[in-house]
């Protein structure tokens, strides 16, 4: 039973999610100054559907710790990792090789880099330093997928937020490419379209360029939800 509260996000019922701000309530969830921070509403909604109190949630690319803050408030256990931890409660690890036993997690949430468009850090193992125009980018995301599959318990769920790239007239359908990688390991459950807000390109000059030079500004991200098989 979901408790309805004015401090909590709307419990979504469609595949189109549109959140006006990064945060909800009166406490921070992650740091909205962190580049590429995840809207906290997304994680809250996923927890309601795919986890219960006491479950262990793992975020292998935890950034500013949004998932940690939401999980703690919702009484879920949580482990957050990042190649360069932003806070002391995030452990240093590579999402391709997590310091966890197999089949320990009840839910995995990932908001990965989706190209080299955001400068997270200079760490040599930061996947966000590889362009999605390079096949290596998807090889590395496949390693992250395999590792997430290894740590998830049978029958449990993974959700992955990702966007496409259109740069200098070259379009890369990053979301669809990741979907086909994930589908090699997991059973597809659904795809949510999450409206993008507060983009640096959301300015009159960029809208004018998009019309003049005949390209589209990115308006949404994919939230891909999949399930690990119940049996080996
Ligand atoms: C989109 S951000 C995550 C944002 C986060 N969910 C939040 O709300 O702040 C992607 C993160 O992936 C991390 N990252 C990149 N390569 C990684 C790797 N090989 N292992 C672990 N983390 C990695 C980056 O350091 C960055 O913090």
Name the nearest CA neighbour of 220 among 191, 190, 192, 196: 196
Pairing status of strand 16-17 against strand 187-195: parallel
Distance, CA 214 to ligand 1 centroid (Å)?
32
In a 3-state reduction of DSSP, which class is residue 96?
Answer: coil
pLDDT at 6: 60
What is the per-residue pLDDT for 5?
55
Angstrom distance (rounded) from CA 38 to CA 26 = 17
Name the closest-CA residue to atom 27, ligand 1: 63
- What are the two backbone dihedrals, phi and then psi, of residue 94, each rounded to the nearest 5 degrees? -95, 130
pTM of the model: 0.96
Instruction: Pick the residue whose CA is nearest to atom 17 on ligand 1.
Output: 126
**Ligand 1 mean position, distance from CA 128 (Å):** 8
pLDDT at position 198 is 65
Question: What is the DSSP annotation of 99-136?
Answer: SS-SS-EEEEEEE---SSSS-----TT-GGGS-TTSHH
> Which of the listed residues 78, 82, 98, 117 should we mutate to test ligand 1's pocket, taking the one with most ligand atoms within 8 A of CB?
82
Number of the ligand 1 atom closest to the C-alpha atom of 109: 6
CA of 227 to the centre of ligand 1 (A): 22
pLDDT of residue 7: 78
Q: What residues are in contact with ligand 1 under a 6 Å CB criterion?
A: 30, 34, 36-38, 60-64, 66, 81-84, 94-96, 111-113, 120-121, 125-128
Collapsing DSSP to helix, strand or coil, 42 comes out as helix
Q: Which domains are delineated in the chain?
A: 16-227 (3.40.50.150)
- Ramachandran region of residue 214, left (φ > 0), alpha (ψ -120 to 50) or beta? left
Cα gap 8→216, rounded to integer Å: 33
Residue ID of nearest Cα to ligand 1 atom 3 = 63
Residue-wise pLDDT tens for the chain (232 aa)? 445 456 789 999 999 999 888 999 989 999 999 999 999 999 999 999 999 999 999 999 999 999 999 999 999 999 999 999 999 999 999 999 999 999 999 999 999 999 999 999 999 999 999 999 999 999 999 999 999 999 999 999 999 999 999 988 899 999 999 999 999 999 999 999 999 876 777 788 989 999 999 989 999 999 999 999 998 7
Q: How many C-beta neighbours within 10 Å does residue 212 have?
A: 8
Torsion of CA 81, 87, 89, 91, to 10 degrees: 30
């Amino acid at each position: 039973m979901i408790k309805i509260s004015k401090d909590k996000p709307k419990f979504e019922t469609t595949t189109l999610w549109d959140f006006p701000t990064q945060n909800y309530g009166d406490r921070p969830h992650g740091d909205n100054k962190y580049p590429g921070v995840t809207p906290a509403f997304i994680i809250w909604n996923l927890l309601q559907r795919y986890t219960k109190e006491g479950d262990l949630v793992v975020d292998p690319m935890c950034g500013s710790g949004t998932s940690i803050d939401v999980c703690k408030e919702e009484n879920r256990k949580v482990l957050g990792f990042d190649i360069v931890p932003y806070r002391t409660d995030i452990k240093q690890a590579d999402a391709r090789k997590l310091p966890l036993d197999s089949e320990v997690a009840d839910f995995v949430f990932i908001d990965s880099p989706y190209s080299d468009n955001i400068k997270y850090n200079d760490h040599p193992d930061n996947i966000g330093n590889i362009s999605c125009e390079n096949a290596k980018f998807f090889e590395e995301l496949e390693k992250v997928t395999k590792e997430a599959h290894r740590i998830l318990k049978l029958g449990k769920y993974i959700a992955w937020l990702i966007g496409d790239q259109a740069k200098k007239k070259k379009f890369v359908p990053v979301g669809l490419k990741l979907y086909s990688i994930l589908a090699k390991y997991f059973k597809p459950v659904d795809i949510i379209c999450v409206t993008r807000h507060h983009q640096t390109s959301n300015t009159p000059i960029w809208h004018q360029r998009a019309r003049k030079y005949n390209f589209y500004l990115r308006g949404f991200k994919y939230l891909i939800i999949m399930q690990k098989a119940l049996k080996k």
